[in-house]
Amino acid sequence: MRATCRGLGEPLVPYAEAPLPTQRGPFDVLVFREPGTGLEHVAMLRGDVRRPEGVLVRVHSECLTGEVLGSLRCDCRFQLDWALDRIAEAGAGVLVYLRQEGRGIGLGNKVRAYALQARGADTFEANRKLGFGDDLRHFDFAAEILEYLGVGPIDLLTNNPRKMSELSDAGIQIRSRVPVPSPVTPHNQAYLETKKRRGGQLIDL
């Protein structure tokens, strides 16, 4: 069954796709444009992702500061690299990369939140001082992408129970949760403790 775009009832199709050689070996990359927002989300595929015995999946939200600029405030780059390593080692899997910077508040507001954190606010308090909720991300479009790809049962690489719940509610069969390690450093310890305490994330510190 082909997925339909959220709220529009139109078939979901990739805007672009191509083979992508990487340092971890060959992947296929597909770009999907989200209706309404125009955001371009990415799916990276390795091997046969329709295997009935299940496949590794990571649904990952964008973090330019950590993944590109090398920020030590978070563990996003480590989680992204770790997930891609596991998929490459398994020979099959999917990484869905969602353009939801700063838990959905955008890059500029994320940096404004950084300034508040530098003055003592935690990541949730900073969002609220800027007038945002704790987490504005959604994962229903990721579920549509996975449905389009025809994945069977998935082993989801995540520490986020809300992500599991939203994907499951959207019809994705989650066979198991694979915990993602979060290395603790002096720069990210408070951030990880806050994610665990206030965000309900299943992080082993």
Catalytic positions are 135, 137
Question: What is the full DSSP assignment across 23-88?
Answer: TTEEEEEEEEEPTTT--EEEEEEES-TT-TT-EEEEEEE--HHHHTS--SS-SHHHHHHHHHHHHH
Tokens of 187: 């720069």
7 within 8 A of 34, measured Cβ to Cβ: no
Sign for the CA dihedral angle at 162, 163, 166, 168 comes to negative
Of 166, 168, 178, give the one whose Cα is nearest residue 135: 166
User: In the sheet that 16-22 helps form, which strands lie side by side, from edge to edge?
Assistant: 16-22, 25-33, 40-46, 93-98, 55-61, 154-157, 174-178
Backbone φ, ψ for residue 27 (5° rounding)? -130, 165
